[in-house]
Amino acid sequence: MSITGIACSLTALLSLSGAVQAGHDGADVLAPLPADRFTQADARHLLLRAGFGGSIEEVQRLHRLGLDGMVSWLVDYEGRPDVVGGLVLEPGERIDRNKLRRMEEAERRRVRQRMRRADALLFQHVRRWWMDRMLTTRRPLEEKMTLFWHGHFTTSYRDVRRSHLMLQQNELLRFHATGNFGELLHQISTDPAMLRYLNNNQNRKGRPNENFAREVMELFSLGVGNYDETDIKQAARAFTGWTLKNGQFTFNRRQHDTGRKTIFGKSGNFGGHDVCDMLLQHAACAPHVAGKIFAWFAYDDVEPELREELGRVLASHRYELKPLLRRIFKSEAFYSKKAKGSKIKSPVELLVSTVRMLGMNPPPAELLLFGAQRLGQTVMSPPNVKGWEGGLAWITTANLLERDNLCGLMLRAGQLVARGNQPDAMREGSARRKGGQQRGNSRRRVSEAQLARWDSGLSACAMAQVTGASDATSLVDALCGRLLVVGLRAKTRAQLVAFVTGADGSRRLDLKKLRGRAAEAKLRKLLHLIMSTPEYQVC
């Protein structure tokens, strides 16, 4: 199928799922799915949405726990060990400001550039650390919710330019990943990276900066239409004096506006934490936050009635997130036809889930970080304060081809190790100077040698043998069942069967002799063909 055809098929897939069950009653679909209707396909769907997927053996093991047991395994993860652990960054170079002022302009510029380059190297270490967590975690919901909050409370290294502050915020989001939203809202409001990103460290008495006040209402808590410009201006005054000193939050009383403020019709000498409390008490807050969480896990365009019911669940538990998550993961709505296959995998989800579903050894984190960047998702550097748009915005003619290429390279990794070859496809095509000149060799490629050395541990022959398939059709169905959450179109399925039997002109796969280099190559090609379908792009 052509790239254009795949894009059209994706649009059709999403339109079909969106058309199913439209206009249902919100309270009814939040009723729990009957335990006897919880299938292995449902377990695969749950693990992919509430985490990053898993091998068929992991799905089978979790399915045996039953719906309640699997949801508890996902949500109550604190007792399981943290595989990767914390990260400690070496303190970077510090220059006294007075000493910096006494320097000549050229020397001052060189010092700043040196410090920025050093910090950028530390930042790459932070990004690798987080990618390693997503690849290897035994607490998939913890990392999936950390990724959600990163897109909700958006902050970008491009603006913060402090690696240790980005790490500190990431750890804050993880600590509160499934905790209490109210506590998280209060803490993110004093988070140093957030203060720098939205300029609240420049918010002073008499010269209020409205950036944070606006976004905390529009994006973080209430949503558009639930406040007015007066609320923003008055709230900005309440957040004056919230600034930084030596990279840490501090309250500067001299820069705080102590005057009377009127916010949401209430008047008083409010401070920043008072505003956070008022936001949490606002009728729009719980439905906005709960609806956004539901949309992240289940489907977009949440019905108003369902959003309100979700909000009641969150508010009734005083913003504790676990009761809401359990309700979502056990609901009819989460397993409905409207939910399954309704979301396009983000680049991070696509690459991490590919590794986890195929049971591969974790690759060097740089490879997936670079791959995600090529596909439009630079971890810890979202495009703007709204985060990544998601959905069909992930799909363009160029990056559909790139998605296919990256999956193909991952499947070839083990063969590259055996043959000593190096791939030639992971070029940083966008890395060019003005005038069209390429950057130096160190920037031209991500590490081809790293990909060549990565022993993925993948045995497509062993994977096929485990299925017990006796014919081409059952083999295709079994492998699709491992990788897809929606069924293939009949024409595509027939083409895959023809590839296995050799009816398309390729070499026939002997299902009685699933061993050797030729069989391995054939099966990896079959996996690649499945991963090239529109159905693999959705979850």
pLDDT one digit per residue (tens) for the chain, 539 residues: 555 566 666 666 565 555 444 445 555 778 999 999 999 999 999 999 999 999 999 999 999 999 999 999 999 999 999 989 899 887 766 776 777 777 788 877 887 788 889 999 999 999 999 999 999 999 999 999 999 999 999 999 999 999 999 999 999 999 999 999 999 999 999 999 999 999 999 999 999 999 999 999 999 999 999 999 999 999 999 999 999 998 999 999 999 999 999 999 999 999 999 999 999 999 999 999 999 999 999 999 999 999 999 999 999 999 999 999 999 999 999 999 999 999 999 999 999 999 999 999 999 999 999 999 999 999 999 999 999 999 999 998 888 899 999 999 899 875 644 444 444 444 433 333 344 444 434 333 544 566 677 889 999 999 999 999 999 999 999 999 999 999 999 999 999 999 999 999 999 999 999 999 999 999 999 999 999 999 999 99
In a domain, 521, yes or no: yes
In a domain, 488, yes or no: yes
pLDDT of residue 430: 38
Cα distance between residue 399 and residue 305, in whole Å:
36
Compute CA distances 450 → 70, 120, 486, whole Å. Answer: 36, 21, 34
Cα distance between residue 163 and residue 155, in whole Å:
12
pLDDT of residue 413: 76
Provide the number of structural domains found in the chain: 1
pLDDT of residue 4: 58
DSSP H helical ranges for 375-489:
397-419, 441-444, 448-453, 460-467, 472-483
pLDDT of residue 378: 96
Which tokens is 182 given? 């109210």
Q: Write the secondary structure of 89-153 as one string of H (helix), E (strand) and C (coil).
A: CCCCCCCCHHHHHHCCHHHHHHHHHHHHHHHHHHHHHHHHHHHHHHHHCCCHHHHHHHHHHHHHC
Cα distance between residue 488 and residue 377, in whole Å:
27
In a domain, 470, yes or no: yes
In a domain, 485, yes or no: yes
Which tokens is 136 given? 């290897």
In a domain, 527, yes or no: yes
3-state secondary structure of 388: coil
pLDDT of residue 114: 86
In a domain, 523, yes or no: yes
Query: Which residue range forms the structural domain that includes residue 504?
Result: 460-537
In a domain, 114, yes or no: no
Cα distance between residue 80 and residue 197, in whole Å:
34
pLDDT of residue 93: 67
In a domain, 83, yes or no: no
